[in-house]
Amino acid sequence: DPLLPAEGGEGRRAPFLLRALRIAVVVCLYWFTSIAMVFLNKYLLDSPSLRLDAPIFVTFFQCALTAALCLGLSLGASCGPPCSGLPALRLDPKVSRSVLPLSAVFIGMVTSNNLCLKYVGVAFYNVGRSLTTVFNVLLSYFLLKQTTSLYALLACGVIIGGFWLGVDQEGAEGTLSWTGIFFGILASLCVSLNAIYTKKVLPVVDGSIWRLTFYNNINACVLFFPLMMLLGEFRTLYNFDKLGNPSFWGMMTLGGVFGFAIGYVTGLQIKFTSPLTHNVSGTAKACAQTVLAVIYFEETKSLLWWTSNLMVLGGSFAYTWVKGLEMRKVQEDPNVKSSERNETGV
């Protein structure tokens, strides 16, 4: 990649200032895209001015737009840069059926994420779905038979403590939604399952995340239709007074574009930094997002409420740091047993 520093020879390496500036731009792009997507989705799902009670439709539209963008960019691959590196996409029913189990988990993940955001505030959203790391450890043990170090388990304990303290403080302030908590826990579980099933399904699409994204979203669009019928969302849309409003569709399209872009900028951040730095950046982004939400919605939070957020963020950072050190130890020590190598993959 011409944008990455060359590995051979200092003369070919990009200047430090240029590399630092490039990393800063990528990190800022990730922060902006991720935070903007959360605020846009909150508006679409729970805005008093919009009054649209159709969260499955909002999720369906975003999946449909993502699939359309994937197909459109793939068709543009023959036109040269910047799309020349993208694989051609075509719908293969056999591959679609093979991806279907992952698609079911994917639907659970995106739907529960949006439903959690609908019922809880943006400020509490990070805490409400903070148990992903804990589910990673549990599922890795029960499904993959991988153990976790004591320090990583202690970090998970801090996250759980922060989660319960946050729930307690939301209840004390009268803003607790048990429905939102339920979907937050379900979202955390589905995110963990999605990571495990993605590894299993990737060989079906020749290891291409691009193809997997396309098939996932196509399958999701098909499966969302009976859900929308069952929940009566077509009737809700028929009676929706802003259905013909261009500004509504503009916001819907913008939310879908940000939903599509988050996968790309996440990959960019990992590419130009590292998986460890990406996790640290995501933790810092969550902190900034919480502060921005409190300021934007003019909320007043107690000291214990802020403590719960710090516990979740601190526990997440500590877990990432511990796993990073363990992975570095595995890479540097060629005599590490295979069982210990598996342990660091949690």
Helices (H), the chain: 16-46, 55-75, 93-119, 122-128, 132-144, 150-172, 178-201, 209-230, 233-238, 246-272, 275-296, 303-332, 338-343
Structural domain span for residue 186: 17-78+87-330
Among 42, 71, 81, smallest CA distance to 58 is for: 42
326 confidence band (pLDDT: 50, 70, 90)? confident
In a domain, 343, yes or no: no
Long-range contacts at 164-172 (CB < 8 A, ≥ 24 apart): 165/304, 165/307, 165/308, 165/311, 166/124, 166/127, 166/128, 166/130, 166/305, 166/308, 166/309, 166/312, 167/127, 168/304, 168/308, 169/301, 169/302, 169/304, 169/305, 169/308, 170/120, 170/124, 170/305, 172/302
What is the DSSP secondary structure assignment for residue 79, as one 8-state letter?
Answer: G
Q: Report the C-alpha gap between 323 and 183 in whole angstroms.
A: 27
Per-residue pLDDT band for 278 (boundaries 50, 70, 90) equals confident
346 lies in some domain: no
Work out the mean pLDDT of the chain and round it to a whole number. Answer: 86
What digits encode the pLDDT tens for the residues 141-179? 888 788 889 999 999 999 999 999 999 999 998 889 999
Lowest mean pLDDT among 86-95, 99-108, 206-215, 308-317: 86-95
pLDDT over 90 (residue 279): no
Residue 334's pLDDT is 56
Report how many domains make up the chain: 1
**Could you tell me if residue 337 is inside a domain?**
no
- 344 found inside a domain: no
Which sign, positive or negative, has the C-alpha torsion 266, 209, 36, 346?
negative
User: Quick check: is 26 in a domain?
Assistant: yes
pTM for the structure as a whole: 0.85
Give the per-residue pLDDT at 257.
93
Residue 281 covered by a domain: yes
Q: Specify if 269 maps to a domain.
A: yes
264 lies in a domain? yes
Tell me, what amino acid is at 78?
A: S
Q: What is the mean pLDDT of residues 191-201?
A: 88
pLDDT for residue 246 is more than 60: yes
pLDDT of residue 94: 93
